[in-house]
Structure 1
Amino acid sequence: MFSNQPQMRPINTFAAWKYVMLLVFLGLGILFALPNMYGEDLALQVSGEKGSPIAQDVFLEIEKELKDNQIELKKSSNDSGKALFRFLDSESQLKARDIVSEFLRGKGDYGVALNLAPATPEWLKSLGGEPLKLGLDLRGGVHFLMEVDMGSAINKKEDQYVSDFKTTFREKKLRYASVIKVKNVGILARFRKTEDMERAEGIIRQSFSELSTRTREKDGLFEVVVTIPEVKLKEIKDYAVKQNIATLRNRINELGVAEPLIQQQGSERILVQLPGVQDSERAKRILGTTAIVEFRLVNESAGYNPTKAPSGSELILQKSSGANYAIKKSPVVDGSHLTDASVGYDENGMPQINVVLDSKGGNKMLLMTSKNINKPMAIVMIETKAIYERVNEELKVVGQNVIKNVVSAPNIGAALGTKFRITGQFTPTEAHDLALILRSGSLIAPVYFVEERTVGPSLGKQNIELGKTSILVGFIAVLIFMLVYYRVFGIVANIALMSNLVFIIAIMSLIPGATLTLPGIAGIVLTVGMAVDANVLIFERIREELREGTKPAQAIHNGYDKAFSTIADANVTTLIAALVLFGIGTGPVAGFAVTLFIGIITSMFTAIIGSRAIINLIYGGKALNKISI
């Protein structure tokens, strides 16, 4: 007799495609977790001039220089324009850095940095396998939390508006009395006639629609009061942070730091982490310097080392000589026209900085210098440094100190154009750092260091060992408990638990920018405990069904089905907590949240689907009288 009833699949069985899917997932997990088994090599990274690819002939010269100095190389390569030399021990690595730095001195602006290079085999790299990126607390290096001076950013924008208003009024042939900034009021455009005021307000509203305007009469003058709305202020602040991040990234890239982290934190702060960097003072100097270079004429009428500046000039000290110069306030060309700066050496073998200007700056320089042959022109370096004060146990920025220094003041020997040089009493390191700062661009607003930490490589290594130990101890303790308490089902839970750990490491290795930190290791340890919790709920439910007289096969089926809602509820609430931690947390808290989130997803997959697949393979489709649980 035939029936149209669909054929029922035997209880506790999976379709073949599900097993294939699980095997593919497990294979991919093992593949992408595998690079973490190979460790890292001590290495030296050499990048080309101004971040450009290093030439093959230079790479071969460095390799020969190291061999000539009896430095044993494990391996060397020149990939993506960055030369990488691997060593067997830290002593060889440190010696190699000194040898290469000395060898490249005078040959150009090359970046030489200590590095830890993954020892992943090439075949695994070709498949996209990369090891986990380790955070600063595990690898060692420097950590900076920097705050952007938003007051300076807004002042700079207001100064730009003042200049733009004047230019626009002149172009429109509109006579004005003055355009000034007034603190807590705004920008005041003053006129002697009411019709000029009304016309000016119309021009501002048309050309600068993002600004708010109102008119008033005061002290016999007619004023247009211009203010920056909150929406525009927020835009200015966001732009300041993003531009500063771009500038800092340029500087870090030229330092040759491997795998740096630089990101916005909150609305006004920037987090910078430089793995492997131990010279925090040099890194701090390069990152925090708001160096602006200006080329100004010297007021010769004041004489040598004057004590008072003539009108239109200011006294600026030259630190190297201790002498004052009367420098004209209006620059011939400022740093905004500078497009490149590199280190060279003059005819006496002294370091110099070769400068390149854009066409507009070059025209200005040509016009001014051709009229002032044999007259002195000063190169003025302007730096802004924060003034800190401890308020309620917290370090606060209470002001800023603008430092001006005359680098040199040579006579103009000939008309200058877009290319010329800056000479002064530079050491090679000072010249290299200054050229790097100048060509990477000036920070749009000063940045202040509100937090600074240095983690030594030995401490980072100790943290890694302790982290591994904590995971291993917790893992073994859980494995033994599950094996003893749940027998065959415990073995299945242990397999699922090991697969879970593989998946966490694989996913963390695949996520771009994901970094494992010490709190991240804590998240993995916590996930190990939570992963087994789901299996415990399922197994206890199966035991309960057996105690109530349910047949073993049906008890397994009911145990997985009925425990699912409880497991889902518990894990979803933890997922929400992880998302909230990631959303509002920063640094270590966010690192913990990422590993926790990934761990919960993978643990649900391995506990509910993975373990059931193995149980079904063992007990599925069979007449069971007894199960080992």
Structure 2
Amino acid sequence: MLNHYSLWKYLIVILVFTTGVIYTLPSLYGDNPTIYITQYITEENHQTLDNILLSQIKKILENETITHKSISLQTNKILIQFFCEKDQLKAYQKLLTIFINKYQIFLCTTPAAPYWLSVIKAKPIKLGLDLCGGIYFVIHVNTEVILNKLQEQYIDTVKATLFEKKIPYIKIYKIKNHGIEINFKNSNYRNKSIIPLSKINHGLVIHRIEDNKLHIIFSEIKKHEICERAVQQNSTILYHRIHQLGITEPLVQRHGIDRIIIELPGIQDIKKVKKILSTTASLEFRLVNSAISDFDINNNLIPEDSEIKLTNNGYLVPLYKQIILSGNYIVNSNTSLDEYNRPQVNITLDKIGSTIISNFTKNNIGKTIATLFVEYKDSGKKDSKGHPLLIKHEKIINIATIQSQLGNSFRIVGISNLNEARHLSLLLRMGTLITPVHIEEERIIGPMLGKKNITQGFTACTLGILTSICFMVLWYRYFGLIASIALIANLILMISTMSIIPGMVLTMPSIAGIILTLSVAIDANVLINERIKEELKQGKPVQYAIYTGYRKAFTSIVDANITTIITSIILYLIGTGPIKGFAITTIIGVGTSMFTSIIGTRAVVNLVYGKKNVNKLSI
């Protein structure tokens, strides 16, 4: 039967449209001005977040007659929502004055949608910096540090390999390009060492130099892999740090070879965020070389496999250079008091870290192990490329005897005070950067500019839709009205789809994509309506004209939209930032417009004209 849909088809159309409306609702409610409070991670003065603090904040707001919408204690943060920005700023200034050296206080926004929408995971569409303001960072990852560190590790590995194969050498030097030079007594020893050294790593390139020397350098492919892995891991850690502090919807993405772009919509306090991102503290667990005496230390008679480090109290302790375990394997940490009421840090390792520490402690019971705290700080000077020169600061925070085999959890004791323990615990919980970073560029985008962009985008979108609706209704009458309903439904489905897709952010280019897609979406109904009019002019029955109009227009519509999708995919693959946003918005819009223009309007037409004896159409 012509122009008839089965019940299930109508149900699908209704279900899709209803779902679209529900997931669009959070974007219509807007945002609440919000303050959230977290602990410091780089200061010595630490305070806990608890119900006592919550009550104290409530009393402060009441005394200052500041109206707030809600206040709640959540994981690692206190969230205060307000009805207007005036109250938010007033509360921020007051709380900052009282808690300036105790807590970190941030200005942001949170969704104002009802709770039941959050239960079904319906969230407002995420706005980019150009729409809601915030902070923009370009972070440079110092890959030189990781390459230098690996150079030192390979020197130790080379020494161990030559010792194991009983191949004597005169000396091992560091050379340019992160390479190693080995001087042998003669060419026979040099040639004998090539095979065992080549088995250390396939990414190392070995060159014969003169009669008795070898140069070992990283291949370019190996260097690229090392730097790529370091940047990717640092990106993950920075994202984790931001999330730990309760900053919602951050954008952390790679940019070029050794840079990371971070966008924090809705955040305005740049100093505090910089502290969070630039902290480069780490832990290293090493064995104490008890064979080295005070006489050896005082006379600098230190073997090549060891080095001297300072404790908190200024004592010199000889440590083996080999790192047993680093902070990269720590997944959680917290503070508590031991049986003698002394502060301690409880550490939990991941699966790989627990295997390493378990095997090591099992084979080294009775030996002394030290916990070395490592931090990179800006020296205030810059290199030839304009990058800050970082100084490595190290100190031993704990020395203990291995009494039994350790598992995935253990504790660090001997910390001087509870504040220092909390400081260390928070640093470890935030994640240890693989290699130091520094902020190369920073910008604050004000919220007023974002509001102006939103207003302009909304105005442009509204005018575009109204113009299309007026044209369609005047030209195609009732069928134009159906097409206009489909146009509005298309906008609703676009917004709901963009709010559901993870990582999707609405920016000005995205708004341009929406407007362009809506303007082009009406073309499908123009084609359909013109086809129907042609069939009617040829004297075809009304029901047959509707059926033929949709069938003949379908191929043209699909072909045109497929070419648009292909072009948008190419833009997305080769473009960056704004171009990607425009491309993905266009792809979404084309998909939803095909559904609403072909299936949606056909469902309405079938519902109105199907199974009826119609002699004339309003078209």
- What TM-score results when the alignment is normalised by the length of structure 1? 0.76
User: What's the counterpart of residue 80 of structure 2?
Assistant: 85
* Residue among 190, 194, 198 paired with 1:201: 194
Match of 1:238, SS?
Answer: helix
Partners in 1 of 2:280 and 2:320 — Cα distance?
20
Q: Distance in 1 between matches of 2:40 and 2:279?
A: 21
When residues 576 and 566 of structure 1 are mapped into structure 2, their CA distance, relative to the original with a 3 A threshold, is same
1:216 matched to 2:208 = yes
Query: Matches of residues 214-253 of structure 1 in structure 2 within 5 Å?
Result: 214=206, 216=208, 218=210, 220-221=211-212, 223-253=213-243
- What amino acid is the match of 1:476? L
1:183 aligns with 176
Kindly indicate whether the alpha-carbon contact (under 8 Å) linking 2:479 and 2:618 is maintained by their aligned counterparts in 1.
Answer: yes
Once the two structures are TM-superposed, the CA of residue 542 in structure 1 deviates from its matched residue by 1.4
How far apart are residue 184 of structure 1 and its match? 5.1
Whole-angstrom CA distance in 2 between matches of 1:378 and 1:13? 74
Residue number among 571, 574, 585 corresponding to 2:564 in the alignment = 574
Distance 1:548 1:368 in 2: 93
Where in structure 2 are the equivalents of 1:402-481 lying within 5 Å?
402=389, 404=391, 418-420=413-415, 440=430, 443-447=433-437, 449=439, 451-481=441-471
Report the equivalent of 1:23: 14
Report what 1:116 is aligned to: 109
Most deviating of 520-529 and 166-175 = 166-175
Say which is worse superposed, 524-533 or 245-254, in terms of deviation. Answer: 245-254
Compute the displacement of 1:156 (Å).
3.4
Shift of 1:477: 0.9
Tell me how far apart the structure 2 counterparts of residues 73 and 624 of structure 1 sit (CA, whole Å).
60
Partners of 2:470 and 2:202 in 1: how far apart? 68
Q: Equivalents in 2 of 1:132, 1:53: separation in Å? A: 33
Residue in structure 2 matched with residue 166 of structure 1 by the alignment: 159
Q: Post-superposition shift, 1:44?
A: 1.1
User: 2:280, 2:376 within 8 Å by CA — same for their partners in 1?
Assistant: no
Spell out, residue by residue over 1:477-508, the C-alpha distance to the aligned partner (whole angstroms, 9 max, x if none). 11111111100100110111111111111111
Give how far 1:77 is off: 2.4
Decide whether aligned partners of structure 1 residues 327 and 255 sit closer, same or farther in structure 2, where only a CA change above 3 A counts.
Answer: same
Shift of 1:557: 1.2
The answer to whether the Cα contact below 8 Å between 1:213 and 1:224 also exists between their aligned partners in 2 is no
Q: CA deviation at 1:433?
A: 10
Partner of 2:56: 61
TM-score relative to the length of structure 2: 0.77
Give the residue type in structure 1 aligned to 2:56.
E
Find the partner of 1:524 among 514, 520, 528. Answer: 514
Give the Cα–Cα distance (whole angstroms) in 2 for the partners of residues 436 and 81 of structure 1: 11
Residue 259 of structure 1: CA displacement? 2.3
2:534 aligns with: 544
Q: In the alignment, is residue 33 of structure 1 matched against residue 41 of structure 2?
A: no
Partner of 2:36: 45
SS in structure 1 opposite 2:514? helix
Deviations 1:199-255 (CA, angstroms, capped at 9, x unpaired): 43233233x23234445252x52x333232343222212111112213323443455
CA displacement 1:372-413 (0-9 Å, x = unmatched): xxxxx999864367859xxxxxxxx82544254999x99x9x
Task: Tell me, yes or no, if the aligned pair for 1:143 and 1:272 is still in contact at 8 Å.
Answer: yes
Aligned residues: 558
Alignment of 1:218-617 (within 5 A): 218=210, 220-221=211-212, 223-253=213-243, 255-284=245-274, 286-288=276-278, 382-383=377-378, 387=382, 398-402=385-389, 404=391, 418-420=413-415, 440=430, 443-447=433-437, 449=439, 451-617=441-607
Distance (whole Å) between structure 2 residues aligned to residue 165 and residue 368 of structure 1:
25
Query: d(CA) in 2 for partners of 1:626 and 1:383?
Result: 80
Alignment partner of 1:14: what SS? Answer: coil
Moved more, 281-290 or 517-526: 281-290
Q: In 2, Cα distance between the equivalents of 1:52 and 1:236?
A: 39
In the other structure, the counterpart of 1:5 is none
1: CA distance between counterparts of 2:145 and 2:543? 73
Which residue identity does 1:160 align to in structure 2?
Q
Task: Give the aligned partner of residue 90 of structure 2.
Answer: 95
Flag the 1:138–1:327 CA change in 2: closer, same or farther, 3 A: farther
Tell me the distance in 1 between the aligned counterparts of 2:334 and 2:322.
17
Range with bigger deviation, 119-128 or 436-445: 436-445
Following TM superposition, by how much is the alpha carbon of 1:179 offset from its aligned partner in structure 2, in angstroms?
A: 2.2
**Where does the alignment leave 5 or more consecutive residues of structure 2 unmatched?**
285-298, 302-313, 336-342, 349-356, 402-411
Distance 1:217 1:519, change over 3 A: closer
Q: Distance in 2 between matches of 1:332 and 1:197?
A: 27
2:130, 2:326 → 1: CA distance?
41
CA shift, 1:331, in A, is 8.9
- 1:347 corresponds to: none
Q: Is the 8 A contact 1:111 1:255 kept in 2?
A: no
Amino acid at match of 1:554: Y
1:320-362 Cα distance to aligned partner (Å, 9 max, x none):
xxxxxx999999999996789999xxxxxxxxx99999999xx
User: In 1, Cα distance between the equivalents of 2:89 and 2:133?
Assistant: 16
Provide the alpha-carbon RMSD of the alignment. 4.5
Q: Is the 8 A contact 1:139 1:276 kept in 2?
A: yes
